Structure 1
């Protein structure tokens, strides 16, 4: 069953999502979410998502297969210059 999520985009991820800063999504894991967002916004965002970091309710999540909690806020953080 999919979880209702809020996805927030920052910096280059926002630009790659056509300027969208936040939007709702339904997904059970980050893997599923990245596929959904790639399908929704296209190859430019897909490339950013491959190297992006994700915060789930403010906590870094490295396991893209971990279940996402219903109602979570997912922050998409692209790699930043300088580190």
Structure 2
């Protein structure tokens, strides 16, 4: 099965969208633009920007990259990508 996480070498301008608890942890921000090359870098930048509460949420969060689940936090992100931050949801 091919890896759904895109590959790229350069840092990219991305759109990040927050859902549920991630939105609350980001101070109510629903989306923003960020320059990052990987999800790992993205999570660090967002933690620096919004604080420890969002950092904790992102440790357990799932990430959709242009609508596809991406579990490899070192996967490169191409310019123009939309990354959805989905915290764990209660209830199943």
Specify if TM > 0.5: yes
Q: Shorter-chain TM-score category?
A: over 0.9
Tell me how large the CA RMSD over aligned residues is: 0.6
- TM-score scaled by structure 2? 0.88
For structure 1, the 5+ residue unaligned runs are none
1:42 aligns with: 51
How many corresponding residue pairs? 83
CA distance in 1, matches of 2:53, 2:91: 22
Output aligned runs, 1:1-20, within 5 Å: 1-20=10-29
- TM-score scaled by structure 1? 0.98
Larger radius of gyration: 2
Query: Which deviations, in whole Å up to 9, do the C-alpha atoms of 1:39-82 show, x marking residues without a partner?
Result: 00000000000000000000000000000011000000000002
Output aligned runs, 1:67-78, within 5 Å: 67-78=76-87
For structure 2, the 5+ residue unaligned runs are 1-9
CA distance in 2, matches of 1:82, 1:16: 20
1:58 aligns with: 67
The runs of 4+ residues in structure 1 deviating greater than 4 Å are: none
